Amino acid sequence: MSAIPRPNALPREKVPAFTVIEDVAPCVDGGRYPIKRVVGEDVRVTAACFAHGHEHVACAVRYRMRGDREWREVPMEPLGNDLWAAEFTVDRVGAWEYLVACWVDHLTAWRDGFARRTEPEDLRLAARMGADLIARSAALCEANDCAKLDPWAHILGEEGDIERLRAVALDEKLFALALANAPRDGLTETQPLAVTVDRERARFSAWYELFPRSCSSIPGKHGTFEDVDEWLDGIAAMGFDVLYLPPIHPIGRVKRKGKNNAVAAEPGDVGSPWAIGSREGGHTAILPELGTLADFRHLVMAARARGMEIALDIAFQCAPDHPWVSEHPEWFRTRPDGSIQYAENPPKKYQDIYPLDFDSTHWKALWHALRDVFFHWIEQGVAIFRVDNPHTKPFAFWEWVIAEVKARHPDVLFLSEAFTRPRVMHRLAKLGFTQSYTYFTWRNTRQELIDYFTELSHGEAAEYFRPNVWPNTPDILPYHLQNAGLGMFRVRLALAATLAASYGVYGPAFELGENRPREPHSEEYLDSEKYQLRHWNVRRPESLAPLMTQLNEFRRAHAAMRSNASLLFHSTDNEALLGYSMRAGDDRVLVVVNLDPQHAQAGFVSVDLAPLGLDTGEAYEVRDALGGATFTWYGSRNFIRLDPQQAPAHLFAIA
């Protein structure tokens, strides 16, 4: 981003902006969208700042929380080649802003020139020039500082002894005082750039998804919020901190889908939770079979007491018998025969879903009603929302509604469930979604994983796109998990939990290795929980709960795992082995995953020592959190052997 001086817009008596600011970073789309941080993180700002000829410049980053009257300021340090850098720390949740300021630094230029001069008369002349500059600083400073600068300027203007003149002119403390109060001639400032600052869970979280209706301990019985309450201790013990619930609203009866997405429902079929609305209510109501609003509020508080939060699914679509269909038919599109248009993706038809018409001439009332859905659930204690298919709604709506919610509730987080084209996914992240689903679900090979997670962690998108990686979802049973053994589930779990600071699993189905596709070449589950009750016995001996617990304990124990910024891949001589590390200060972890779920794999991993603060000639210890063993390594190249029958990965803490 470049700030262009506009002399004609300045008062005539003010010196025009002779300085130039270019290439400010971080900066998303020229400043159109904010960067993202969490409380306590630094924002490192760099910029190219310069002026014509041999003029010296000084630069600073000015920052504040939006709404604060005063700006805070930190000076920028030169990096060479006209590049400058500075950092500031964001310490509160909310909207922040920062800018870069640059001005001609006459005082430093004078001091540098004075130090190089040798001729007596030349020195005396330069001293008088310095006296004029110092007098300008004295005129702008407070009385106490002025009392120190005025005598200094007087000595420089009158002193005849060259050696004393030289010593006085180069006084460090007086120079720093004068510099701090010097006028900023030729000042240029960029337009403010935005920072959205969230709470820690925006950056680091482990999600567990379950359907409340499948939580009953009695097979075939509809579960309730009270049943979910019985699951909380187990989920918390595994180390998950977000419990995500699919829609909990009344389910439409008209055109209800049956088991395995059958067009016609049989008696007793419970329908899809995403077919929202019936005579019992719509998006602010609760399915009566689950319980009451009071029961839901109790669940929210019970989860919070265990260090977890409830994340609620928001799906802006309606069943044919949703109250809005009769109360606000203008919010839906009609077909030529006068009937309301149901959802289609030819040849697929979703007769049980009516999309909302965001382009309706009554769009404003619709948008406000949808915004109020968020406000309703926030009042019930929900502060995290997983948004279903946001890419099928207008970008302008999301930018508006997220801003509306965050203005009142800056701690609220939004997860974008948009498995779609990259630019669309990234646009939604720029517009305000806190976290985003990713393509991890379909990235399998060593090189695919390296390329994709390097892009997410270190590309421009790292400033605004926070990945939340999922190996499966209720909609997606990826091909590599279909009819696969638990070994593949262990591999994908280890990757998800360690490649990104935020990850999630479609809980019981993944925990128990649910692997049956509805039909060949389909990513739909057979007997999908989306359309019927399921009974999950998570106490089965083959449950992945112990591995989930170990992985989440490792994540929580290491500050290095709480951010994606330090992710670094290390080369291996075996394509089946993937090695990578993270670091936060003295906390360093190294993960090596065996991508082969069936066979033991061995090879050498070549650790890039310098980024981890390790010396080539020194020994260091690595302690494996999964296997429990401690090894002493020397240098960068060390031998690894991983047997998937014992563990899918090494989780090394580096001592």
Q: Is 513 left (phi over 0), alpha (psi -120 to 50) or beta?
A: left
| CA–CA distances in Å: residue 539 to residues 17, 362, 386 | 71, 51, 28
Beta strand 242-245 with 205-209 is: parallel
Amino acid at 56: H
- Contact between 130 and 156 under an 8 Å Cβ cutoff? The reply is yes
To which H or E segment does residue 470 belong? none
From 617, 605, 609, select the one nearest 654 (Cα to Cα).
609
618: annotated active-site residue: no
Question: Which of helix, strand or coil describes residue 88?
Answer: strand
Axis crossing angle, helix 446-458 with helix 486-499, rounded to the nearest 10 = 20
- Contact between 119 and 162 under an 8 Å Cβ cutoff? The reply is no
CA distance 60 to 350: 57
Of 388, 463, 514, 529, which residue is the catalytic one? 388
Question: Which of helix, strand or coil describes residue 285?
Answer: coil
- Contact between 309 and 241 under an 8 Å Cβ cutoff? The reply is yes
Burial class (CB in 10 A: 0-12, 13-18, 19+), 348: exposed
CA distance 578 to 269: 45
Is the alpha carbon torsion for 373, 374, 375, 377 positive or negative? Answer: positive
475: annotated active-site residue: no
DSSP code for 217: S
Burial class (CB in 10 A: 0-12, 13-18, 19+), 508: buried
From 487, 568, 482, select the one nearest 526 (Cα to Cα).
482
From 295, 299, 294, 246, select the one nearest 270 (Cα to Cα).
246
Secondary structure of 496-549 in HEC code, one letter for each residue: HHHHCCEEEEEHHHHHCCCCCECCCCCCCECCCCCCCCCCCCCCCCCCCHHHHH
From 422, 539, 414, 518, select the one nearest 474 (Cα to Cα).
518
What are the structure tokens assigned to 15, written together? 């010196």
Burial class (CB in 10 A: 0-12, 13-18, 19+), 288: exposed
CA distance 386 to 395: 17
Question: Which of helix, strand or coil describes residue 235?
Answer: helix
Question: Which of helix, strand or coil describes residue 145?
Answer: helix
Tell me: cis bond preceding 546? Omega within 30 of 0 counts: no
Cβ burial 171-182 (10 Å sphere, 16+ → b, else e): eeebbebbbebb
- Contact between 168 and 204 under an 8 Å Cβ cutoff? The reply is no
To which H or E segment does residue 303 belong? helix 293-305
DSSP code for 304: H
Of 97, 159, 352, 417, which residue is the catalytic one? 417
- Residues classed as catalytic: 388, 417
